[in-house]
């Protein structure tokens, strides 16, 4: 059995415990991970703080970000193939290619947001 000693600091009339969060690994969290973090903080505070205090927060956000990027890339590729948006179209009619790719990216982003980020 481990003997855990808790130290306290006097704050006015109160003794507050000196608590520290577990070490979090250093990791860059991308746009999707940051969006999910903000969503959790705003709408799911209990889950946010449970992940944060358990030391699993960075790994969780990193995984969400990875999944979201993979899903986004897959959807863009599948939709552009399905709708015949090719490099040939890009060279022949750049404006049309941009219009179609923007539409594809917007739909892929909406799917990623609905399935991973804001869920």
The DSSP code for 55 is: T
The answer to whether residues 48 and 40 touch, using CB atoms and an 8 Å cutoff, is yes
15 found inside a domain = no
Domain that holds residue 95: 26-117
CA distances from 115 to 64, 68, 106, 109 (A): 11, 9, 14, 10
pLDDT value for 4: 66
1 found inside a domain = no
Task: Read off the tokens for 82.
Answer: 């399905």
Domain count of the chain?
A: 1
pLDDT in tens, 60-111: 999 999 999 999 999 999 999 999 999 999 999 999 999 999 999 999 999 9
21 found inside a domain = no
């Amino acid at each position: 059995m481990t003997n855990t000693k808790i130290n306290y600091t006097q704050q006015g009339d109160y003794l507050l415990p000196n608590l520290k969060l577990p070490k979090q690994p250093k990791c860059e969290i991308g746009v999707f991970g940051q969006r999910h973090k903000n969503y959790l903080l705003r709408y799911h505070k209990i889950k946010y703080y449970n992940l944060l205090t358990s030391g699993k927060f960075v790994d969780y956000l990193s995984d969400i970000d990875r999944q979201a990027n993979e899903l986004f890339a897959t959807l863009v590729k599948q939709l552009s193939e399905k709708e015949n948006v090719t490099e040939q179209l890009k060279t022949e009619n750049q404006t049309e290619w941009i219009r179609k790719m923007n539409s594809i990216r917007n739909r892929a982003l909406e799917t990623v947001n609905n399935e991973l980020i804001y869920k």
